[in-house]
Amino acid sequence: MGRGFVAIRPHELRNISPHMHWLCREYRFTLGHRPLVMGIVNVTPDSFSDGGQFFDPDAAIAHGLQLVADGADILDVGGESTRPGSQPVPAVDELARVLPVVRELAKRTQIPISVDTTKASVARACLDAGAVIVNDITGLTGDPAMPALCAKTGAGVVIMHMQGTPQTMQVDPRYDDVTTSVRDFLSDRIAKLCDAGIPLEALTVDPGIGFGKTMPHNLQLLAHLAELRSLGRPIVLGVSRKGVIGTIINRERGDRLAGSLAVACFATATHGADIWRVHDVAAHRDAARLYEAIRDQAESRNEPKPRDSVDTKAATV
């Protein structure tokens, strides 16, 4: 296995401390008490939910600032749609979309900025411009230069599972057991990335809801997210407005907030999500606060536990 990484056996799950750290350059998150909210900034003409709405850099910057005002803990900026059937975007075009937005948001906010990309050249430029996290849907397998870049820069990393590519992922995806397959993939990636020099505490995992998975696959994963606790790393959940929600509640993309909140809260209550990657930050922040208040009451007879925080030279969120 990787440097210091050993997967935790299922029977040991009850002994895991609920609090974990996530290192993202100068930021240090403590997770496990309330979910953190990662606000989505899509600088694309064709993303599945809000494509085109924030394609103009000024509109994207204004949107990011609004998400901060709404209570986002992190901003995730992306310039390439990864919806089913989407086509790759050349690195030069992707960089032209995201770099001005990342640079300006890093200057004008005090919260961590993530870049959602599979390309090391895009990640490098954005990290130089102030980003501190790389969110890669390929789990850092899409570009051989990405692991070394993240190791060298100290970036926080989101490792996601995807079967196939955005062009092929929804063409008859199959698994013997989707939860086991996702867990094994993420475990292998953690080991390899630790071997590549990325600290274990810099890594988080994302099961990739909707990425190469059918409706039953998605529901099974959501029902058993806690099994990913055996990896010993924080879990990022990106289910906001997705098709699994729309199909069940029969709502269009812009009318799936209630379903998105229900899934997010269920996932956290069952120990399956630490970070919510969402479009509707204000509502999810409210839900996170209510979750925190109820959990505090449930734990009131126990020793006080530290609230979630991120320590940095410049800010606390």
Q: What is the DSSP letter of 200?
A: G
Residue 29 contacts residue 309 (beta carbons within 8 Å): yes
Set 97, 189, 233, 277: catalytic member: 277
Q: Is 242 a catalytic residue?
A: yes
CA quadruple 164, 169, 172, 175: dihedral sign: positive
In the Cβ-directed half-sphere of 49, how many Cα atoms lie within 13 Å? 21
Residues 6+ apart with CB under 8 A from 211: 82, 137, 160, 161, 162, 163, 166, 169
Task: Name the active-site residue from 119, 213, 242, 256.
Answer: 242
| Contact yes or no for 134/155 (Cβ under 8 A) | yes
Distance CA 256, CA 133 (A): 27
Instruction: Please indicate whether residue 189 is annotated as part of the active site.
Output: no
Question: What CA–CA distance (Å, rounded) separates 191 from 213?
Answer: 24
Listed residue (238, 233, 145, 253) closest to 196, CA to CA: 145
State how far the Cα of 281 lies from the Cα of 183, in Å rounded to an integer: 28
Q: Which residues are catalytic?
A: 242, 277
